Amino acid sequence: MICAIVTTLILVEARGSETDSSRGEATAAALRLSYALRREPVPRRIDGTPGVMLQVMDEDRRVIAGTPGRAPALRPLARFVPSQTRVYSSRKVCSPVRRDRCLWVIGFRVFKPGGDWLIYAAVPIVPWYVSPGLIMFLASVSLLVILLGCLRAWATVDQTLAPVDAIRTELAEITAYRSGRRVTVPESRDEIRRLAEAANATLDRLDSALERQRSFTSDASHDLRSPIAAARAQIEEALLYPDDVDWPRTARSVLQSLERLQAIVTDLLQLARLDAAAWQEVETIDLGALVTIEVARSERTKRIVPHLQEGVTVRGDRLRLVRLLTNLLDNAERHAESRVDITVAREGDTAVLEVVDDGAGVAEKDRDLVFQRFARLEDSKARDPGGTGLGLPIAREIARLHGGSLTIEDSERGARFVLRIPRNHGGGPGG
């Protein structure tokens, strides 16, 4: 584009300069011939400026003289005549003598006693390309500049992309062999450095996810093995002494192990569905009404005190929000001394649900730990040995899928679980 613009400007300037020069030469040749006609007879042959065609016409508008090759019998270069008030005039005409191109013609009126004569001076119109040599020269220079620019751009891009290729190679090696490695971060402060840092951040998250998956698999295997091993041991012991076994009591013990196994499998399936973001029908839900219904529906061993603000609605899956509330109430009931407070309120465009118990609370260092899968504090194990350690992780995952958050915040006494969900959230994975 730059070469085309520069070439156009040069051609415009060269054509203007060439046009002005040729017209100036034609005007000067016509003036010289006009001066000569006043002093001497008209010659049959006029030797003028090279490139300028001249003709002399008498008062009868007959060609009586011209430049070599312009015999008097030839037709005139032009037909226009300067007006009586002007000595000369000029026009662009297509000459009948040279029909292959147009000419710029200037006509002068010369006074003679028998009548005014006319002098025509003509030069060819300068074409847009001025001359073949000039256009070829400019085209050659433009192509050379473009070629040099392409070579320079190729070298620059190749040099710039070399670190990208190195990052790609390292990522391929990490994918093929083992995790834990990181790509080399270049020293330059540019987009390549940010690409390497973003790749390392992605690898960090992947390694973290793999570690959580390994931990989850290990914990799930351990928690599933415990009730199975307990039930197997009881049955094997009963089979060793079948006549001395209290079979109803043994059956009840095995049934307890199966119930714990069923609870773990149910929670694992629920987490799998949450990870897959399989949603039911999304609807507008009044949190206050949902709390009222759930508190009235279930019997609790501790006193439930609701503090509900009307008109606090969210968009989401009703069954999952019920599961979230139930998990929070079950957890609060296990740790409360005598009372659990539930608060529903509106904070701007956010719906807030709080569940506060009057128990011992959760230490600040353990507030993130309790939301990890299968993680259980010592106090929780003592109060509920049959728990799965999946209730709070499920509740947090449900909050996340609704575009919200579930955290433990400071309170005067006990644990204070706070759920925040945007009221204008779309109510589905990704909103």
Sign, CA dihedral 38-44-48-52, equals positive
Q: Are residues 296 and 179 in the same domain?
A: no
Torsion angle of C-alpha atoms 386, 392, 398, 403, degrees rounded to 10:
180
Q: Which residues contact 376 (CB under 8 A, 6 or more apart)?
A: 387, 389
314 contacts 427 by C-beta, under 8 angstroms: yes
> What CATH number has the domain bearing residue 240?
1.10.287
pLDDT in tens, the chain (431 residues): 999 999 999 999 999 999 999 999 999 988 888 888 877 777 767 776 788 888 888 888 888 888 875 444 467 888 888 888 888 898 888 755 555 578 899 999 888 888 888 999 988 888 888 888 999 999 999 999 999 999 999 998 888 788 888 888 888 888 777 667 788 888 777 788 888 888 888 888 888 777 767 766 766 676 677 778 878 888 888 888 888 788 888 888 888 778 777 777 777 777 666 666 555 668 899 999 999 998 888 888 889 999 999 889 999 888 889 889 988 998 888 888 889 999 999 998 899 999 999 888 888 888 888 888 766 666 665 565 555 678 888 888 889 888 899 999 988 888 999 999 998 765 555 54
Torsion angle of C-alpha atoms 407, 224, 429, 214, degrees rounded to 10:
80
Q: Are residues 287 and 379 in the same domain?
A: yes
CA 410/CA 363 separation, integer angstroms: 10
In a domain, 381, yes or no: yes
CA 188 to chain CA mean position, Å: 24
Encoded amino acid at 382, one letter? A
The pairing of beta strand 117-124 with beta strand 102-110: antiparallel
Q: Are residues 118 and 215 in the same domain?
A: no
Structure tokens given for 100: 């292959």
Structure tokens given for 326: 């139930």
Q: Which residues of 112-137 are buried (b: 16+ CB within 10 A; e: fewer)?
A: eeeeebbbbbbbbbbeeebeeebbee
Q: How many domains does the chain divide into? A: 3
Q: Are residues 178 and 228 in the same domain?
A: yes
> What CATH number has the domain bearing residue 92?
3.30.450
pTM comes to 0.48
Q: Where are the beta strands (DSSP E) in 190-333?
A: 283-286, 303-308, 313-316
Query: In the listed set 277, 307, 327, which residue is the last one of a domain according to the structure?
Result: 277
In a domain, 153, yes or no: no
Q: Are residues 239 and 333 in the same domain?
A: no
130 contacts 18 by C-beta, under 8 angstroms: yes
In a domain, 120, yes or no: yes
Q: Are residues 185 and 285 in the same domain?
A: no
> Interhelix angle for 318-335 vs 287-297, to 10°?
60
Unique residue bearing structure tokens 């599961």: 323
Question: DSSP label at 73?
Answer: T
For 298, phi then psi, to 5°, come to -105, 145
- The domain containing residue 119 runs over which residues? 1-124
Q: Are residues 116 and 210 in the same domain?
A: no
Q: Are residues 268 and 339 in the same domain?
A: no
